[in-house]
Chain A
């Protein structure tokens, strides 16, 4: 059967996400947030999710809505700071012990996801040695320098934002839209992309930024920028 990864709607694309799913969500620096898929996930409402996301609180991402809806048990991220002086809903849940938080240096987060999709179970990095974020982690010396052992991250689902796709799931990204998206798609059992447009013709091989073999479902959705 000819491959066709296009799915009619975000609801359909996320219709089988179970309770307890680990979900990666792309986006950083204001670009690449899959906000249509995040909202569809919120409406699907799987409980006890673990989110792997660069920022749990970025003002241009709807990630916080999943947390506010009480669907999230744990967050792995590099940023979870509320913007206001008072406590954000996330910070309140964290304070009350209702949500578990793992904070990683951003590059460790990115590499852990990359490793998760590349068959590397763990890696040594110089980043974070001697800091609160690596307490209790194994440290080894290579060439006279200390490195900390960090474990790879993988997920049941990755939801990412891209610019264009073809029926094979090949993706292109605009400017800084890619950020965590490509690595997340490689590290998830099910990768769903929302894009501006699905082209009839295949994306030329030298313009493919993420090969379609990593992408399972694609929906067309205008980008929502709050």
Chain B
């Protein structure tokens, strides 16, 4: 019933549109690139200025100057370009990114996002481009486990951790459901087989509404990615 991490990013990838400019967050979201449906022509943006990130480069193809924001050696796709940081973030703030797919600690029912500060005492802050992407991409989608390791909800009435941006999240893809955030709150569009609506609600900290066409969340069998 519940999806593994590859299946979660696969599901998010199915909603990417043809011709979009897409920014993928460090960690699990970058794996969305591995599951873009055939026939779509998509450009991936990285905060360090790469417009048109291609597959990872390994071995003697790796060039330490050709990297993404996560310091991974990459290749460029056909038609790629590279700009400097000021331009790269002007691209983000200017609303030129069609969607950013990010991880999250918490998402509130009004779309508030907390994904940058776990409040670990005395550990230095690390915000990077998270606030820029969350505040200014045309759409913010979240890929995350539905619950914390201790079983607590990540979808909540109000975030308890420091906010990344207010009212920014449009969609959430978890291991249990696909949800949208609208003016009225969280609406479930797909739910995994074998999980009741009541159980999904119990695992969530905010009121869920179910779309009239709410259907079973199905994905192909995929090997899990490393955490």
* A contacts, CB < 8 Å to B: 28-32, 54, 56-58, 60, 78-82, 87-88, 90-91, 94-95, 101, 103-108, 110-111, 113-114, 125-133, 163, 174-183, 225
Query: Given A175-B66, A176-B49, A183-B85 in contact, is the A79-B126 Cβ separation under 8 Å?
Result: yes
* B contacts, CB < 8 Å to A: 46-50, 63-71, 73, 82-86, 88-90, 92-93, 117, 122-132, 135-136, 162-166
Nearest first, the 4 closest Cβ-Cβ pairs linking A and B are: A107-B89, A80-B124, A107-B132, A30-B71
Closest B residue to A128 by beta carbon equals B131
Cα(A128)–Cα(B135), bound, Å: 7
A130–B69 CB distance below 8 A: no
Q: Give the residue of B71, B89, B125 whose beta carbon is less than 8 angstroms from that of A60.
A: B71
Query: Given A127-B131, A175-B82, A225-B64 in contact, is the A90-B164 Cβ separation under 8 Å?
Result: no
Query: Given A31-B64, A111-B89 in contact, is the A131-B129 Cβ separation under 8 Å?
Result: no
Min CB distance, A155 to chain B, in Å? Answer: 15
Closest B residue to A183 by beta carbon equals B86
A110–B125 CB distance below 8 A: no
| Chain A residues with CB under 8 A of B48 | 28-29, 31, 176, 179
Closest B residue to A117 by beta carbon equals B86
Q: Which of A29, A101, A176, A178 has the most CB of B within 10 A?
A: A176
Cα(A56)–Cα(B132), bound, Å: 19
Min CB distance, A193 to chain B, in Å? Answer: 14
A90–B166 CB distance below 8 A: no
Q: List 6 A-B pairs, Cβ < 8 Å.
A: A78-B128, A81-B124, A82-B124, A111-B89, A132-B117, A175-B63
B123–A111 CB distance below 8 A: no
Cα(A128)–Cα(B50), bound, Å: 23
Min CB distance, B45 to chain A, in Å? Answer: 12
Q: Which of A58, A133, A177, A179 has the most CB of B within 10 A?
A: A179
A182–B166 CB distance below 8 A: no
Closest A residue to B88 by beta carbon equals A110
Q: Give the residue of A58, A130, A176 whose beta carbon is less than 8 angstroms from that of B163.
A: A130
| Chain A residues with CB under 8 A of B117 | 132
Cα(A78)–Cα(B116), bound, Å: 11
Q: Give the residue of B49, B86, B135 whose beta carbon is less than 8 angstroms from that of A127.
A: B135
| Chain A residues with CB under 8 A of B127 | 78-79, 103-106, 133
B135–A129 CB distance below 8 A: yes
| Chain A residues with CB under 8 A of B128 | 78-79, 106
| Chain B residues with CB under 8 A of A57 | 124
A91–B122 CB distance below 8 A: yes
Cα(A90)–Cα(B195), bound, Å: 47
Cα(A175)–Cα(B122), bound, Å: 35
Query: Given A28-B48, A90-B124, A178-B84 in contact, is the A130-B89 Cβ separation under 8 Å?
Result: no
